[in-house]
């Protein structure tokens, strides 16, 4: 049986971790309350890490923990006890950038170490070096091409992980210092203020200047990445919502499965790209994978990032006898709207809303209050944690 490439999802908290795994991720990467590069995410307490590992392992899936800040002396206080505690909690691997941390973990614990993209690994000799240092997997720098990936794997037998979707840092694999200087928040110790997305006033120019990168989207070239023999395809976004993760993970899950089933077609790719285009509010590109990145891969003055209200509700239950769907409303919808429900098992149901009821089964025409419990009359059963959205296609 062919072993499929891993689909790796971010998770900013326990709820999002469960959604990512239910919607098709093979593994998730998370951060603890300390030592993580996403300090502004909710992140995980030790008890939540234990629960996350138990949940994932029951599904025969994995949990990786980020320990990828640039360590200063004061950051070492407590880190050794923390590492032991999360190993005991069941973590499958650490994502690390500090050479000493790699050495310490490999010498003291029977757990995998994945070299973070923060290490900016871009060439064959660097990969050989890190393999010699007992690293189990390398998350390549975001600045490598598919051709370079293929060249590396011809020379070195090691697991490689690459990003396939999400926001990309303007600076070399995240090694930014703008946040430090502009906001006194150290981006390499978890405090990134996303200064690269600020609008700057330029002297003698009435137009503000921006320089942010477009998001990454490799759906169209997923087959080429899989064929290159990388072991893991990584989604960016520990700050993203459950709806975003469910949408992106389920789209890439279908594309990966279609690739291995020899049923991947241009029509299917275009359909998933349309779904993916609706879940984020930025333009996308392939960045360095297909060519040298240039001005077309970045935003400059005049960009627009407009959010939509596609996510309508999270399914709580379905009463088969009464044929009543219960959901928590997220955005406004009304009778007559064309919608679809997508499920953790990968199915998508399209229909027109005919009857809406409040939590007391009073008939209403419009659902207009986010977080309200709403009931719909539908003829088909859908599973818990399915999501309803505006019909995409």
Measuring CA to CA, how many Å separate 187 from each of 114, 193, 209, 246, 314? Answer: 20, 7, 21, 27, 34
Q: Which residues of 203-231 are buried (b: 16+ CB within 10 A; e: fewer)?
A: eeeeeeebbbbbbbbbbebbeebbebebb
Q: In terms of domains, do 291 and 365 share one? A: no
Residue 306 belongs to some domain of the structure: no
| CA 302 distance to own-chain centroid | 27
Which residue, chain included where needed, has tokens 């025969």?
Answer: 60
174 shares a domain with 66 = yes
Query: For residue 393, what pLDDT is reported?
Result: 72
Same domain (yes/no): 93, 199: yes
What's the pLDDT score for residue 302? Answer: 62
Confidence at residue 290, expressed as pLDDT on a 0 to 100 scale:
93
Q: Say what the pLDDT of residue 75 is.
A: 85
SS3 state at 325: strand
Identify the CA nearest to 49 among candidates 62, 37, 32. Answer: 32
CATH for 386:
2.40.30.10
Do 291 and 319 fall within a single domain?
A: no
- Are 191 and 327 members of one domain? no
Instruction: Give me the pLDDT at residue 43, please.
Output: 77
Of 372, 344, 340, 368, the C-alpha closest to 353 is: 340
Range of the domain at 380: 311-390
Q: Among positive and negative, which fits the CA dihedral 29, 34, 35, 36?
A: positive
351 and 203 in a common domain: no
For 34, the token pair is 């300390």
Boundary-marking domain end, from 297, 320, 335:
297
Q: Is residue 304 part of a domain?
A: no
Q: What is the mean pLDDT of each run of 10 residues along the chain (393 residues)?
A: 91 95 97 69 86 98 92 89 96 95 96 94 97 97 95 97 90 71 70 74 77 90 96 92 95 97 96 91 88 84 71 96 96 96 94 95 95 95 96 81
Task: Give the angle 188-170-301 at the CA atoms, nearest 5°.
Answer: 135
Q: How many domains does the chain have?
A: 2
Please check whether residues 47 and 72 belong to one and the same domain: yes
Where does a domain end: 241, 267, 297? 297
Output the pLDDT for position 171.
73
**pLDDT at position 377:** 94
| Contact status, residue 68 vs residue 39, Cβ threshold 8 Å | no
State residue 191's pLDDT score: 66
Query: 43: helix, coil or strand?
Result: coil
Joined together, the tokens standing for residue 380 give 């088909």
CA–CA distance, 352 with 339 (Å, rounded to integer): 6
In a domain, residue 69? The reply is: yes
Q: Assess if residue 1 is contained within a domain.
A: no
Confirm whether 380 is domain-assigned: yes
Residues 187 and 211 in one domain: yes
If asked whether residues 232 and 315 sit together in one domain, one would say no
Residue 92 lies in a domain: yes
Q: Does 350 share its domain with 249?
A: no
Q: Does residue 376 sit within a domain?
A: yes
Residues 6+ apart with CB under 8 A from 344: 22, 23, 24, 246, 250, 383, 385, 386
Report pLDDT for 179. 73
241, 264, 297: which is the final residue of a domain?
A: 297
Say if residue 45 is in the same domain as residue 138.
Answer: yes
Q: What contacts 140, CB < 8 A, 6 or more positions away?
A: 117, 121, 122, 149, 152, 160, 161, 162
Residue 303 in domain = no
Do 214 and 325 share a domain, yes or no? no
The one-character DSSP state at 44 is: B
What's the confidence (pLDDT) of residue 24? 97
The enclosing domain of 283 has a CATH number of 3.20.20.70
Q: Give the integer Cα–Cα distance in Å for 360 and 159.
A: 54
């Amino acid at each position: 049986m062919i072993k499929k490439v891993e689909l790796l999802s971010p998770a900013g908290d326990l709820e999002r971790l469960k959604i990512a795994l239910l919607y098709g991720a093979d593994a998730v990467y998370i951060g603890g309350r300390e030592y993580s590069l996403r300090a502004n995410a909710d992140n995980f307490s030790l008890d939540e890490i234990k629960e996350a590992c138990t949940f994932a392992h029951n599904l025969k899936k994995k949990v990786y923990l980020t320990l990828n800040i640039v360590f200063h002396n004061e950051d070492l206080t407590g880190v050794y006890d923390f590492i032991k505690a999360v190993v005991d909690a069941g973590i499958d691997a650490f994502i690390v950038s500090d050479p000493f941390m790699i050495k310490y973990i490999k010498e003291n614990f029977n757990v995998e170490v994945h070299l973070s993209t923060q290490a900016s690994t871009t060439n064959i000799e660097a990969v050989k070096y890190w393999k010699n240092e007992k690293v189990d997997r390398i998350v390549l720098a975001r600045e490598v091409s598919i051709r370079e990936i293929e060249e590396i794997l011809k020379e070195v037998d090691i697991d490689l992980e690459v990003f396939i979707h999400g926001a990309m840092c303007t600076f070399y694999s995240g090694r930014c210092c703008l946040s430090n200087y502009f906001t006194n928040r150290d981006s390499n110790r978890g405090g990134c203020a996303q200064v690269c997305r600020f609008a700057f006033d330029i002297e003698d120019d009435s137009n503000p200047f921006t320089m942010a990168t477009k998001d990454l989207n490799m759906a169209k070239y997923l087959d080429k990445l899989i064929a290159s023999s990388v072991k893991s395809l990584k989604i960016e976004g520990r700050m993203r919502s459950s709806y975003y993760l469910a949408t992106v993970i389920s789209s890439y899950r279908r594309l990966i499965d279609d690739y291995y089933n020899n049923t991947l077609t241009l029509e299917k790719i275009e359909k998933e790209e349309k779904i993916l285009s609706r879940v984020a509010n930025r333009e996308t590109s392939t960045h360095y994978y297909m060519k040298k990145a240039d001005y077309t891969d970045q935003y400059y003055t005049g960009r627009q990032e407009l959010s939509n209200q596609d996510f309508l509700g999270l399914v709580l239950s379905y009463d088969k006898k009464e044929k009543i769907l219960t959901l928590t409303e997220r955005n406004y919808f009304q009778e007559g709207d064309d919608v679809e429900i997508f499920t953790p098992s990968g199915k998508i149901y399209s229909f027109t809303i005919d009857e809406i009821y409040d939590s007391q089964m009073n008939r209403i025409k419009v659902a207009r209050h986010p977080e309200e419990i709403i009931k719909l009359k539908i003829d088909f059963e859908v599973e818990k944690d399915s999501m309803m959205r505006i019909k995409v296609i």
